[in-house]
Amino acid sequence: MRRNVLVAGGAGYIGSHVCKALAAAGHHPITFDSLVHGHAWAVKWGPLVKGDIADTALLKRVLRRHDVRAVVHLAAYAYVGESMRDPGKYFSNNVAGTISLLNAMVAAGTPCLVLSSTCATYGLPEVLPIDESHPQRPVNPYGESKLCVERALQWYEGAHGLRSVALRYFNAAGADREGDIGEDHDPETHLIPLAIQAVLGLRKELQVLGTAYATPDGTAIRDFTHVTDLAAAHVAALDYLAAGNRGVMLNLGTGRGHSVREVIREVERVAGRRVPSRDAPPRPGDPPVLVAASERAARLLGWQPRQSDLATLVETAWRWHLGRRGARALRSAA
């Protein structure tokens, strides 16, 4: 059944991939984005409405005008370090902005929401892999802001019948196979694009943050999931809600981790060049290992990560960066 779906933050990295997946599934995505971090060029599968989620009145008008039946919410700030320096910015946008969106949905009669959440709500892992029963003790304002939103969703379901699925990502990576969209952050903080930028000479070197962890090669281990797999989970979550199911929180990951040095070696294999790097101190609060248990998403959504092997993650990211701005940089670095 075709649905009009508002994608808040749909001009961003994950949001644009969600819009493409929605369109491929026969739905009509309407992107709502402030373009503070998103890109107008990434909006290709439906209209763009420029606006801030704090603008409740505008949201209500858009929801009613387009007869929106569901919302995918990715309009959040997501830089952990920045959240430590400026927690007010994160609580204002991620929490107060989400309350504005929820209130607009209630007023417009829009019944379903899929939330982009995060493993940062768990804090430091007590057991591995991390499943949804793990205690949630965030160690930074970003994770705390997302946990506040998850809790608010449960109260809104009880009070207003607004049902939701919160998808807790671990590490998004990779790019669209067709090269339509990809990862373009400013500033960039993700490992794979940072390594690729170092190869292309777009940055001096990659900093390896922490080399004395209790892991096989001393570097941190993370569970990377291809952005296309994440996008597919959002579509499946909307179908889950459309079937009348109650709200739920779900992990999205592969159950397998890769170390920083493993990722560097794979980038070097794909690029055919060395990644210039230097060892640096670990970031405060970074756990040695983060790996997801995603059996609940498999059971409830029928979701499986199908493109999240390390080779595909790196190869699709490499093609995207090389095609967008890297070929000239690569020739200059030769």
Q: Structure tokens of 311?
A: 């080779």
**Euclidean distance between CA atoms 200 and 190, whole angstroms:** 16
**Euclidean distance between CA atoms 36 and 225, whole angstroms:** 25
* Residues paired with 130 in a beta bridge: 292
**Euclidean distance between CA atoms 69 and 115, whole angstroms:** 15
Nearest to 146 by CA among 74, 236, 197: 74
How far is C-alpha 264 from the chain's CA centre? Answer: 21
Q: State the catalytic residue, choosing from 77, 90, 122, 142.
A: 142
Verify whether residue 142 is a known catalytic residue. Answer: yes
User: Which are the contacts of 244, defined by CB distance < 8 A and separation ≥ 6?
Assistant: none
Please spell the DSSP secondary structure of 24-41, one letter per residue: HTT-EEEEEE--SS--GG
Q: Is 253 helix (H, G, I), strand (E, B) or coil?
A: coil
**Euclidean distance between CA atoms 79 and 50, whole angstroms:** 22
How far is C-alpha 106 from the chain's CA centre? Answer: 25
**Euclidean distance between CA atoms 154 and 235, whole angstroms:** 21
Please spell the DSSP secondary structure of 227-252, one letter per residue: HHHHHHHHHHHHHHHHTTPPPEEEEE
* Residues paired with 292 in a beta bridge: 130
* Residues paired with 71 in a beta bridge: 6, 113
Whether 198 and 275 have beta carbons less than 8 Å apart is answered as yes
Give the residue numbers marked as catalytic. Answer: 142
